[in-house]
Amino acid sequence: MSLFVIGYYTLILAASCLAAYFNKRSAFLLLFSLTLVSFVLGIIGGVGALKFVVVVAGLIALSAMVSYAFREFLITLSPTGVAKELRTAPLTAAFGMFVIFTYAIAGIFAPLIAPHGEAAVISGAFAPADENMLLGADQLGRDMFSRLVFGARNSVGLALTATLMAFFLGATAGLLAAVKGGWFDQAMGRFADVIMSIPSLIFALLMLSIFGPTIPVIIVAVAIIYAPRVFRLTRAVAGNVVVMDYIEAAKLRGEGTGYLIRREVLPNSMAPLIAEFGLEFCFVFLLVAGLSFLGLGIQPPTADWGSMVRENATLISFGDITPLIPAAAIALLTVGVNFVVDWMLHRSSGLKE
């Protein structure tokens, strides 16, 4: 038995005993569960499996520390009311905020962060990483790191624009349907049902095949696909608000539809709508990435994470994980946004810890 194995089990068992002695139940269960898992993995995979567990545990611990520090940073800079809310955020939500902040910085300052242009050919095809190329080159000799950074601007920017458009259309229609009711409500509901009955990927492929895979067409197609989903939620949330007494009082005062939506219905429907915006962004982001992977999304030479996975997929056959890096970037942003959305949904539901 190697010194690494002895030291590993000694450390983790000592930490488990200390957690039990100081009555830290959650920490004890976590540490002792890790001990049992490590024991099983050690029997099956040997020292290599234990080293993998150490790396994963180290990454999780590092993420927790970064999340805690970032949450405290936001609390320090925020006004009193916002800081009070941020103190209730779990570390998962803080981690999601940190991921979103990092992606936003990469997208906004992409030309300053990327060492090369997104379409600049600076080396041979599939050149390995060196001092000039942090992640190596793609199939045309372009710097993968630079294209990854520019992809944050292009992929996330396109998904965010399409989500905003879908949300504007769906939320506006849903609010009008809830306030007006009658035939307008019925007509909008049936139209939304028709759009939702068409599979989203098939509808997007059809639209892009007819009108061409340009960015405006992608935005409009995605907005049409997801606007009915926003409409259904907005209609349901606003429908619970328009039956309140203060809405009837506003109608008796002679207030118009615009006033009711702006001053009465929308402010009392914001919490679930904001959470829904985060969920819709994840769906749109994954759809746009999928279209790019199929060759019908953002077109070359513009950097896009979905197309980067497709263009460098050949490297997987040779044991190179480079194509998985843009895929990991997609997954990390999706997970981060979902962490924040889960916290917002928990807050808007009124549940207490």
Q: How confident is the model at residue 95 (pLDDT cuts 50, 70, 90)?
A: very high
| pLDDT value for 166 | 92
Task: Find all residues with CB under 8 Å of 143, minimum gap 6, and list them.
Answer: 114, 115, 116, 120, 122, 123, 132, 133, 134, 135, 137
Task: Find all residues with CB under 8 Å of 278, minimum gap 6, and list them.
Answer: 337, 338, 340, 341, 344
Mean pLDDT of the 200-228 span: 88
The beta strand positions in 1-78, using DSSP E, are none
| pLDDT value for 350 | 52
**What average pLDDT does the chain have?**
85
| pLDDT value for 96 | 92
Q: Which domains does the chain have, with CATH numbers?
A: 3-71 (no CATH), 144-349 (1.10.3720.10)
Task: Find all residues with CB under 8 Å of 230, minimum gap 6, and list them.
Answer: 166, 167, 169, 170, 171, 174, 276, 280
pLDDT at 329 over 80: yes
Mean pLDDT of the 72-94 span: 87
Residues in the chain: 353
> Lowest mean pLDDT: which of 136-140, 276-280, 319-323, 348-352?
348-352
| pLDDT value for 99 | 93
Question: For the segment 164-179, what is each residue's pLDDT rounded down to a tens digit?
Answer: 999 999 988 888 888 8
Question: For the segment 100-131, what is each residue's pLDDT rounded down to a tens digit?
Answer: 999 999 888 988 888 888 888 888 877 888 88
Report the C-alpha gap between 148 and 146 in whole angstroms: 5
Distance from chain centroid for Cα 100 = 8
pLDDT over 70 percentage in the chain:
98
| pLDDT value for 349 | 63
Q: How confident is the model at residue 352 (pLDDT cuts 50, 70, 90)?
A: very low
| pLDDT value for 120 | 83
Mean pLDDT of the 248-262 span: 78
Q: Percent helix, strand and coil across the chain, each rounded to 5? A: 75, 0, 20
Question: For the segment 48-79, what is each residue's pLDDT rounded down to a tens digit?
Answer: 888 888 888 888 888 889 999 999 999 998 88
